[in-house]
Amino acid sequence: MAIPVLILLAYILGSIPTSVWIGKYFYGIDIREHGSGNAGATNTFRVLGKKPGTLVLLIDILKGSAAVSMSYLFENTLPTQEFVDIEIGLAISSVFGHIFPIFAGFRGGKGVATLMGATLIITPISCALALVVFLLVLFTTQYVSLSSMSAGVSYPIILHLIMNNQQTTLTVYSILIAILLIITHRKNIRRLLNKTESQVKFIKAKT
């Protein structure tokens, strides 16, 4: 019974609609009705500014990390593969909660920050290297969407070519991450192709 309870708790953690609550209680707006309409850190930066955007980003990352960290209740009682399976289950549940939050009418964000926080606990080195890819693309293009997709696609490559992963469950998880980030950024892909995608405003291009 313990594992299903933790899966549910991970979903509840992921369901904390950080940007929605901060927007409503401190600024009197529903972040989903402004900017891109996405309930995530990027839209919070865009609509509300750096401080609330940074707060949303950090809390959303912590949601994923906290959810997966609950797996350590089983660290000394399960074989490595089963332990990793539980980590992945908690990660997926927390991201599902962020995308479909029970506390915000099941209208959430894309889950990128929560996914990153969860994956940092599961495979810290691979995730950190994927984060480097994210930052390189972000500083080069100033497109958060393109940076997120690039990091997602690079993650399974890093996991296998650099970290020599041999666990089937992690392989599936890494591929699902790449697919999920592409699917959730479908509209962004269209805007990128049409050259109408917004660039981040907190990084100023040099003139």
Q: 127 and 101, same structural domain?
A: no
53-61 long-range contacts (CB < 8 A, ≥24 apart) are 53/202, 55/18, 55/22, 56/18, 56/19, 56/22, 56/113, 57/113, 59/16, 59/18, 60/18, 60/19, 60/98, 60/109, 60/113, 60/114, 60/117, 61/113, 61/114, 61/116, 61/117, 61/120
Q: Please say which residue of 122, 148, 164 terminates a domain.
A: 122
Q: 149 and 99, same structural domain?
A: no
Question: What pLDDT was estimated at residue 201?
Answer: 62
Residues 17-63: pLDDT tens digits? 999 999 999 999 999 999 888 899 989 998 999 999 999 999 999 99
Structure tokens of 30? Answer: 């529903």
Q: 75 and 157, same structural domain?
A: no
- Give exposure, 90-129, as e/b (b: 16+ Cβ within 10 Å): bbbbbbbbbbbbeebeeebbbbbbbbbbbbbbbbeebbeb
Q: Please say which residue of 82, 97, 122 terminates a domain.
A: 122
Residues 87-144: pLDDT tens digits? 999 999 999 999 999 999 999 999 999 999 999 999 999 999 999 999 999 999 999 9
Q: Which residue matches tokens 């929560």?
A: 114
The mean pLDDT value of the chain amounts to 92
Question: What pLDDT was estimated at residue 9?
Answer: 97
Q: 141 and 113, same structural domain?
A: no
Supply the range of the domain harboring residue 143: 123-207
Q: Is the confidence at residue 5, as pLDDT, over 90? A: yes
Question: What pLDDT was estimated at residue 1?
Answer: 60
